[in-house]
Structure 1
Amino acid sequence: MRGVPSAVVLCRRAAACCAALLLVTSCGRAGADDDEGGRLPGAPTGVSAEAGSATSVHVMWNALPGGDGISRYEVYRGARKVLEVPASRHMVDVTRLRPSTAYAFSVRARGTDGRLGPPSRKVRARTPAAGPADRSAPTRPGSARGRTAGSRAVHLSWSASEDDRGVVSYDIYQGDTKVHSVGGNQTAAVVAGLRPGARYVFTVRARDAADNLSPAGSAVRLTTPGSDDGRATAPGDFRATTRRADGAYHIELSWVPPRTDGVVTEYQIHLDGKPATSLVYGGKVPSGRATYSFYAGPEKGVTHRVRVRAKLPDGTWGGFSAERTVTTGAR
């Protein structure tokens, strides 16, 4: 009869319908898996590359917003991963390169769940030619000065160094850590990612094509404006008790490490308002609750006030934990 589909046509339509339903169901399940796996890290921005010498390139980038979910950054030369650094670092020196060679670099972020985000845009740098043997370092950068640029950045400047072959780059140090680098034709830089109300010390060193490094210029000391109540950088859920062992009392501490864009490896314990001792992790750092025990003396009934703070990845001290009061021998 006309207008009535045959059995074969009906079967084909049913199969197509089932396939469509299967596809929709499959897509929905994949979406749920993505949600369960967490948000994929984004592509790093602000990526730049500058030749540091005839055999090295400085690669820099901006920290991703919401860096709590980032475990590290991976740096690629072309399609090959050449370095990875903790989430607290946003610059690397790629070394063992060839002189007079052009290179392309990109950066990817890896989440704390192990998933790798998309690559940044590629940036290019060319290493300068290697000259004759050069063992003469550039002169010290002079007239170093600086000013704050809001509560989270500073502007630094200095006078040019001299070198018999030419300065290739200037390295900026925050304390003992190199945090930034600019080309040898620049005598100013902006260092960002700082905290309000924090004290910083910066120095600048010049580098030539043979990787000879100058002495550090004079220190620039700056305090960013604003205030930081310390809550975001203070250890959490701080607890303190006492116990007796070997004829003396000990104070037992535990806390949750502060959430930062890097790993905290050092803490300072304050007892009765003064620094009493420090805890420095030389190996693996606890990923969960941290614990520490220290000697409090043989006397019973002595009351102490105790609190702890962390040295942050940027070299400054974070906020104090809540203060706890403990009495030796008390139950």
Structure 2
Amino acid sequence: MPRVPAPPFVSLSRCLAFCGALTVLVSCGGAASGDGAAGGAPGVPLGVTATAGSATSVHVMWNAVSVSGGVGGYEVYRGTTKVEEVPGARHMVDVTRLKPSTVYVFTVRARDKQGRAGPLSREVRATTPAAVAADRVAPSRPGGLRGRAVGSRAVQLSWSAASDDRGVVSYDIHQGATKIHSVGGNQTAAVVTGLRPGTRYDFTVRARDAGDNVSAASGSVGLTTPGTDDGRDTSPTGFRATTHRADGAYHLDLSWVPPRTDGVVTEYQIQLDGRPATSLVYGGPAPRDRAAEYSFYLGPKAGVSHRVRIRAKLPDGTWGGFSAERTVTTGA
């Protein structure tokens, strides 16, 4: 097990600091679709759409596919050529370096974690607009952004059209700082799905023209999905906590199994005695289907008891439920 000790005689309060934060894309797709048979390859991605984002880019989206063991990734094809590959947590991609005034055909297929590929989706078409020479003027910002929850896992947004000297080609919807959706320039409304019940989300919209100039963000709208989410389906399992003594001090050793999500969990928050103690952020590959381990400094005194539990930041950017709480005593 990797050890992450602090220097001897460092107080506990100095160790209770956050390591960082991570923003992950929220799903554009709707309910899981195209279920694969148990033990078989993934099914067909449904709900595939393609919208020109500029004269040289197209935004492709699809619904999540459900398969035993989880989706490992999605492949996006332009004609017969694979042009993009994204992790299983993502259900959208911007295909770039395209030609203006051109019709493109796209399909999507899923791969499971063993590498088995499912069938291709139906074909969808998008036509890039004509290029606009020397266009350096961005559209005006969209106005009047408003929204409402549509059930416990989706919201509906609407806004006033932006203006541009050459015309608005598309609108980008952002959750926080992350682009999560895109619609055509003739639309001033969108539905964002794949959300969690009882969770607050903040959205903004930006306009984009054929020259890929992007407007300033609209005003922000905050929406809370109704319902409750007790977190049991999103909490780490098999959580264990022990202590060991090294270099004259005690250290807390933790292990757990990551929650099963449609995507990889790369950040955890550890709570000690009812308050956040530290965050664990993976800079490289994160454990997914095997136990994760972490160790940090507690202090030099024996006989001190602590309560500890852990939760994961989910691929949609929200926190999952806490694990079961464990009690440990240094020197026990």
Q: Which TM-score band (shorter chain)? A: 0.7 to 0.9
TM-score normalized by the length of structure 2:
0.87
Partner residue in 2 for 1:4: none
Structure with greater proportional helix content: 1
- Alpha-carbon contact 1:303-1:326 (below 8 Å) kept: yes
- Alpha-carbon contact 1:67-1:87 (below 8 Å) kept: no
Partner residue in 2 for 1:176: 177
1:302 pairs, out of 301, 304, 310, with 304
- Alpha-carbon contact 1:68-1:261 (below 8 Å) kept: no
Find the residue that maps to 1:131 and give its secondary structure. coil
* Structure 2 unaligned spans of 5+: 1-35
Partner residue in 1 for 2:130: 129
Q: Which amino acid in the other structure matches residue 158 of structure 2?
A: S
Deviations 1:206-259 (A, max 9, x none): 111111111211111111111111011000100001111111111111100000
1:136 CA drift (Å): 1.4
Partner residue in 2 for 1:293: 295
1:328 paired with 2:330, answer: yes
Q: Structure 1 residues 68, 185: closer, same or farther in 2, change over 3 A?
A: farther
Q: How far apart are the structure 2 equivalents of 1:141 and 1:328?
A: 57
1:215 paired with 2:227, answer: no
- Alpha-carbon contact 2:39-2:68 (below 8 Å) kept: no
Partner residue in 1 for 2:243: 242
Q: How far apart are the structure 1 equivalents of 2:215 and 2:255?
A: 44
Q: Structure 1 residues 286, 125: closer, same or farther in 2, change over 3 A?
A: same
* Consecutive aligned runs of 4 or more in structure 1 exceeding 6 Å deviation: none
Q: Structure 1 residues 68, 36: closer, same or farther in 2, change over 3 A?
A: closer
Q: Structure 1 residues 68, 181: closer, same or farther in 2, change over 3 A?
A: farther
Q: Which amino acid in the other structure matches residue 91 of structure 1?
A: M
Partner residue in 2 for 1:265: 266
Show the 5 A alignment for 1:12-91. Answer: 38-66=39-67, 68-91=69-92
Larger radius of gyration: 1
Partner residue in 2 for 1:230: 231
- After superposition, the CA RMSD in angstroms is 1.5
Q: Which amino acid in the other structure matches residue 292 of structure 1?
A: Y
TM-score normalized by the length of structure 1:
0.87
Deviations 1:157-201 (A, max 9, x none): 111111111111011111222111100111100001111111211
Q: Structure 1 residues 141, 68: closer, same or farther in 2, change over 3 A?
A: farther
1:69 CA drift (Å): 2.1
- Alpha-carbon contact 2:102-2:128 (below 8 Å) kept: yes
Q: Which has the higher contact order (CA 8 A, sep 6+)?
A: 2
- Alpha-carbon contact 2:37-2:67 (below 8 Å) kept: no
1:38 CA drift (Å): 2.1
* Structure 1 unaligned spans of 5+: 1-34
2:313 pairs, out of 311, 314, 331, with 311
Q: How far apart are the structure 1 equivalents of 2:184 and 2:276?
A: 42
Partner residue in 1 for 2:17: none
Q: How far apart are the structure 2 equivalents of 1:36 and 1:55?
A: 38
Q: Structure 1 residues 207, 67: closer, same or farther in 2, change over 3 A?
A: farther
1:140 CA drift (Å): 1.4
The sequence identity of aligned pairs, in percent, is 74
